[in-house]
A and B are shown apart, each in its own frame.
Chain A
Amino acid sequence: MNHIADAQSEVYKEEARELLTVLEDSLLQLERSPDDKELVGQIFRALHTIKGSGSMFGFDRIAAFTHEVETTFDLVRNSEIPVSKALIDHTLQAKDYIKLLLEEPTTDEAPCEQDLKTLIGSFNKLVSGHKETMTQNPPTNTSTTITSAQGASSSNAPAGLLTYRIRFCPASDIFLTGTNPLFLLDELQELGECRAVAQTNALSSLEEMNPELCYVAWDIVLTTDKGIEAIRDVFIFVEDTAAIHIEKVDSPGDGAAEEGYKKVGEILVERGDVKAEELKEALGEQKRIGDILIDKGIVTRDKIASALAEQEQVKEVREKKAKEEAASSIRVAAAKLDKLVDLVGELVTVQAHLSQKANSQADPELVLISEEVERLTGELRDNTMSIRMVPIGSTFGRFSRLVRDLSKELGKEIEMATEGAETELDKTVIERLNDPLVHLIRNSIDHGIEPPDVRESLGKTRKGLIQLTARHAGAQVHIEITDDGAGLDSARIREKAIEKGLISHDAEITEKELFGLIFAPGFSTAEKVSNVSGRGVGMDVVKRTIDALRGHIEVESEQGMGTTITLKLPLTLAIIDGLLVEVDKDYYVLPLSSVEECIELDHSKKTRQQDGRFVNLRGHLVPYVRLREQFGVKGDIPDVEQIVVTGSEGNKIGFVVDQVIGEHQTVIKTLSRVYKDVDSVSGATILGDGTVALILDISKLSQVGRCEGNA
């Protein structure tokens, strides 16, 4: 039993975490556009769900606390309290506390409790502040009705949609009291999907009719998620004089679903419009039940119409619900997805083998089958990969909070803009990208953007801008973090680099290479250490994480104008385009994204310079690494070797191989942990014939090459 409860509360936690993210996003948006009713509604709903399911799963403290916040937002929703900065600040804080309570429900620390009390106090202040203004300007009658209706609905609203049948027969002198029954119907309409059928059988002929009296009654079918109390509240002013019946008819998902829809006759019986015996009798005849009943004069046509309307509405609501369920997403454990990706990877390998065999057999039928399998495998692969793809937007959303809090802490005015939030990336990539991005943004805020006064004196706007952009570029995704701050000070970086012994005094180094040094371990030019940045840990971690994701970083900066850091990342970690090469009967794969060209290395034309480790490529000297030597391969060197020229981090470097085989769809397999110390190889892949080829880590090999070149 216990583990079921655990699993449930785990589901709740997960859901709550998502809701909290929604909450935060909406709050931050609300800060920008305080008049957006939609956002207030979204916040309210998020709070409401957190509270509701919180108490259901025993997170009572969350429920109790959220209730306070929800109460406040209910008033905001009814435009009784304005959206203020204080409100958003408090709510954001509250969100953090809910998160805290969620992650560590057992912590019973007094300070936390104290903070909670203060927070609840400040919410109460907001609420009571509004109440004072309320007494000063009493609102009109109608608005009170609405608010009380909604207020009641929020406090005891059951989750889920319910359909109610309401029979409303106003007293005939209802107009004399100044009430227009149509307004009441309009109010019902606001509660949810509503269908009203007027009962006009009491209406007499025009001569006899008194225009000051109301002859009409209404049968109303209402589907709402507000409770029955909300409906009663609509009729609060007429309930003494009018006859009002409210009944629950149908709630989607309850047992009624199996029985199908209620027949019109049944509905009429339920309503007490027809007796059960009368219905039975009528059913004996072979006409449509509605017609029979009308013929018999038992019910009027209007009653039938109203019953039909009810039937239709219940049907529609159920259909809608079914459709929503069908379109909704399901949660799948990431491990299952990983397994699926693995299997697809294997399938791709087997399919490659099949194609190879089929083509060598020259059996047209077999070739046909193999081509079909190839097509299907391709589609399966793309689809499976797309399952793992998630838009980067949710990650971006998290940063707006970071920017908001940090800029406040540092006394800076910063706005964050995002672009390309819908750009999709592999889930693992996005997860691992979070920390580096946080670090880069922190850096931009701390070092990049100047305080408002400084900015003004420089002729910039007081408000700094941090722009996050994500976009596809071929098989890569580029993520840019741009700020319009001070930019990098190349002279200071140079000084620091010399001081740290990273470059020599007289080193000739391009600006780009110089900027690259900021990612060296222990490098920080910030004069003083703040809790935000300046400790010199971090940038190297950023670099390492991006390297591990097979991506790279580029820095562009103009002093006084700002900095742009571009992260170039592969779309997925599971399959890459590779270039298959051969060295002494062993196969290796180089990531195609970094390969620039292949040229022949003719031994007779070898440049004699520097041990012959450079090749003349259209007037430029390009260093190269001989993989044979690097890997200690013995055996005869072929007369003509190939150089694969790669552009890793802006530096060209060549790798000498025996032969270039061609492009290869490379399903990446991790090498066993046993090989964790081998850094020239980043993984392995399985070729069509079942043998294993190793994937080379170009940036690591380039470093080796460069070291040897410099030596």
Chain B
Amino acid sequence: MSVTSITNTRQYLTFQLGNEIFAVDVSNVREILEFTTVTKVPQTPEFMRGVINLRGSVVPVLDMRLKFGMTITERTVNTCIIVVEVSFEGDTTVIGALVDSVQEVFELEPDQIEPAPKIGTQLKTEFIKGMGKRDEQFIIILDADKVFSSEELSIAQGIKGEPERMAV
């Protein structure tokens, strides 16, 4: 995914993980929930926190901090679950992303977005759509379909592998 694919003005939802600010395209976001009781599913990697009851549907929740190689998300007043819709093996599926806090929705022009740096980030570069900037703070724009792809969520990989810590 290169930055050239972003051609029109889009709205992004920003959220915080530790000190870094991330953003996802709002068209992926279905809703934002408070952190509720999560039921752990056995035999799954640690970053898959478990499942929640979303008005009668059972929705899996991922700990984004663990997924991106940080420490486990602690429950605070600001902890939120961003419910995103992503295409998973060709079908649309709903996944919850556990984050430290949700900030705001803002617009970005295509020319405000720069390509992802090849080095200097803890994330796999393919997760990153581009880098935005707001008040001198860099924002990492994530590609939700890539982050929540079946390979990334594959249980076998999660069990044997370390959390992502690529391209240092």
Contact = CB atoms under 8 A, between A and B. Distances in A.
B8 interface: no
Interface stretch (B36-44, B68-76, B114-122): B36-44
A345 B53 CA distance: 13
Interface stretch (A148-156, A494-502, A684-692): A684-692
A674 B60 contact: yes
Contacts of A677: 154-156
Contacts of A631: 42-43
Contact of A672 (B39, B40, B55, B60): B60
A672 B51 contact: yes
B89 interface: yes
A681 B51 CA distance: 12
Nearest to A584: B40
A349 interface: yes
A347 to B, nearest CB: 9
A587 B50 CA distance: 13
B112 interface: no
A672 B43 contact: no
Contacts of A680: 42-43
Most chain B Cβ neighbours within 10 Å, of A671, A672, A673, A680: A672
A182 B122 CA distance: 100
Contacts of B162: none
A690 B38 CA distance: 11
Given A674-B95, A677-B156, A669 B42 contact: no
Contacts of A693: 39
Interface string A334-373: 0000000010011001000000000000000000000000
Nearest to A696: B42
Contact of A678 (B36, B59, B94, B155): B155
A649 to B, nearest CB: 22
A670 B88 contact: no
Nearest to A669: B58
A691 B37 contact: yes
A672 B59 contact: yes
Contacts of A684: 39, 51, 58
B58 A672 contact: yes
Contacts of B44: 675, 678
A678 B42 contact: yes
A669 B57 contact: yes
Contacts, number: 80
Nearest to A347: B56
B42 A692 contact: no
B153 interface: yes
A693 B42 CA distance: 12
B2 interface: no
Most chain A Cβ neighbours within 10 Å, of B53, B55, B59: B53
Interface string B45-84: 0001011110111111000000000000000000000000
A345 B57 CA distance: 10
Interface string B129-165: 0000000000000000000001001111000000000
A172 interface: no
Contact of A686 (B56, B91, B154): B56
A56 to B, nearest CB: 38
A693 B38 CA distance: 10
A586 interface: yes
A341 to B, nearest CB: 12
A694 interface: yes
B4 interface: no
A692 B53 contact: yes
Contacts of A342: 56
B62 to A, nearest CB: 9
A681 B43 CA distance: 10
A348 to B, nearest CB: 10
A346 B36 CA distance: 18
Contacts of B103: none
Given A673-B88, A692-B53, A632 B42 contact: yes
B93 interface: yes
Interface of B: 36-37, 39-44, 48, 50-53, 55-60, 88-89, 91, 93-95, 150, 153-156
21 contacts: A349-B56, A586-B39, A630-B42, A631-B42, A632-B43, A671-B58, A672-B58, A672-B59, A672-B94, A673-B91, A674-B153, A677-B156, A678-B43, A678-B155, A684-B58, A690-B53, A691-B37, A692-B37, A692-B50, A692-B53, A693-B39
Closest 4 CB pairs of A and B: A631-B42, A346-B56, A692-B39, A677-B155
Interface of A: 342, 345-346, 349, 586-587, 630-632, 669-675, 677-678, 680-681, 684, 686, 690-694
Given A632-B43, A692-B39, 20 more contacts: A345-B56, A346-B56, A587-B39, A630-B42, A670-B58, A671-B60, A673-B89, A673-B93, A673-B150, A674-B93, A674-B95, A677-B155, A677-B156, A680-B43, A684-B51, A686-B56, A686-B58, A691-B53, A692-B58, A694-B39
